[in-house]
């Protein structure tokens, strides 16, 4: 049985002060998460790097997980502006997003670089949330599944999941991110099933049945339950709707 995961991708939003308020209000509104006991729905927050020490402090003792939105493929050294996996791990991070479409698009990240980042994250005990997904013209050309699986395969170059390391895959159709347009529940399930099938063919049944596959792209309280009803959709990577305690809490409650 895969435990549902709702991960909030805050992107480049919130001051440390605002983050502090959000964490306090979230734990007040969702007291089941405050005590550290396992909850039915796992929750993680992925804030900008300067907010991670605040997350570490405010979420200590709770069952809310956190982590970064990106990570360097390098260990340490002269890489100005980069953040090392070991730094994220030392701050108590559980997860790190790799290959978000905004990074692929605006920073020209290749799938090979994304794979190197995922590998570095895993080496340091972090669970990568590996994002894949097609642009609108690819979907309109009927190539959404083929494209996304090719991107996933390239983004897993050199990665061996048969050794027990954990990985989460997030299917995020680029045309649905921040646009208010959502994939239909059927399209999300079709893609999640295809992703699981690919994982099965590459890593075997045990890995495939345990790996969690998220949907992302304009998820909100009113569509969460429907999208997550798909047998292969195990949760969501939530951007805009995770910025407010209210909407994110409603999404958790609706699962
Ligand atoms: P959105 O973003 O929920 O605001 O569409 C999702 C994401 O980019 O992870």
pLDDT of residue 162: 76
Three-state DSSP at 17 gives helix
Q: What is the pLDDT of residues 84-99, one digit of tens each?
A: 999 999 999 999 999 9
233 Cα: distance to centroid of ligand 1 (angstroms): 16
Residue nearest to atom 2 of ligand 1 (CA): 239
Residue 97 CB–ligand 1 contact under 6 Å: no
77 Cα: distance to centroid of ligand 1 (angstroms): 32
pLDDT of residue 163: 79
* C-alpha span between 228 and 4 (Å, rounded): 9
State which H helix or E strand residue 249 sits in. helix 245-254
Whether 152 shows a pLDDT value over 80: the answer reads yes
Q: Which of 102, 134, 165, 172 is catalytic?
A: 172
Whether 164 shows a pLDDT value over 90: the answer reads no
Residue 133 CB–ligand 1 contact under 6 Å: no
* Domain extents in the chain: 5-254
Asked about 100 being catalytic, the answer comes back as yes
Q: What is the pLDDT of residues 206-239, one digit of tens each?
A: 999 999 999 999 999 999 999 999 999 999 999 9
User: What is the phi/psi pair of residue 131, to 5°?
Assistant: -95, 135
208 Cα: distance to centroid of ligand 1 (angstroms): 25
pLDDT of residue 96: 99
Q: What is the pLDDT of residues 120-134, one digit of tens each?
A: 999 999 999 999 999
Q: For residue 156, what are the contacts with CB-CB under 8 A and spacing of at least 6? A: 115, 118, 130, 202
pLDDT of residue 139: 95
Residue 85 CB–ligand 1 contact under 6 Å: no
Regarding the domain delimited by 5-254, which CATH topology (the fold level of the hierarchy) does it fall under?
A: TIM Barrel (3.20.20)
Residue 16 CB–ligand 1 contact under 6 Å: no
218 Cα: distance to centroid of ligand 1 (angstroms): 6
pLDDT of residue 1: 80
User: Rounded to 10 degrees, what is the CA torsion of 90, 107, 110, 66?
Assistant: 30
Q: What is the pLDDT of residues 15-34, one digit of tens each?
A: 999 999 999 999 999 999 99
Residue 217 CB–ligand 1 contact under 6 Å: yes
CA 165 to chain centre: 16
Q: For residue 165, what are the contacts with CB-CB under 8 A and spacing of at least 6? A: 122
Mean pLDDT taken over the chain: 97
> What does the buried/exposed string (b/e) look like for 148-177 if buried means 16 or more CB atoms within 10 Å of the residue's CB?
bbebbeebbeebebeeebbbbbbbbbbbbb
pLDDT of residue 114: 98
Asked about 166 being catalytic, the answer comes back as no
> pTM here?
0.98
């Amino acid at each position: 049985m895969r435990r549902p995961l709702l991960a909030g991708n805050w992107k480049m939003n919130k001051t440390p002060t605002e983050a502090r308020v959000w964490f306090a209000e979230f734990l007040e509104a969702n007291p089941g998460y405050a005590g550290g006991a396992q909850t039915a729905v796992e929750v993680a927050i992925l804030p900008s790097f300067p907010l991670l020490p605040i997350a570490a402090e405010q979420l200590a003792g709770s069952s809310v997980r956190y982590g970064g939105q990106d990570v360097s493929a390098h260990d340490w050294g002269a890489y100005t502006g980069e953040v090392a996996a070991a730094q994220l791990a030392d701050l108590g991070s559980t997860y790190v997003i790799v290959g978000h479409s905004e990074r692929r698009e605006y920073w020209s990240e290749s799938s090979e670089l994304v794979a190197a980042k995922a590998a570095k994250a895993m080496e340091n005990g972090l669970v990568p949330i590996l994002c894949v997904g097609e642009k609108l013209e690819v979907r309109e050309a009927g190539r959404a599944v083929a494209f996304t699986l090719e991107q996933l395969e390239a983004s897993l170059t050199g990665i061996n999941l048969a050794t027990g390391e954990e990985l989460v895959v997030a299917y995020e159709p680029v045309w649905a991110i921040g646009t208010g347009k959502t994939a239909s529940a059927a399209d999300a399930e079709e893609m999640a099933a295809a992703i699981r099938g690919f994982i099965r063919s590459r890593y075997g049944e045990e890995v495939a049945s345990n790996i969690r596959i998220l949907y992302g792209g304009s998820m909100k309280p009113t569509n969460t339950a429907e999208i997550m009803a798909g047998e292969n959709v195990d949760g969501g990577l939530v951007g805009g709707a995770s910025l407010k305690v209210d909407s994110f809490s409603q999404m958790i409650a609706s699962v």
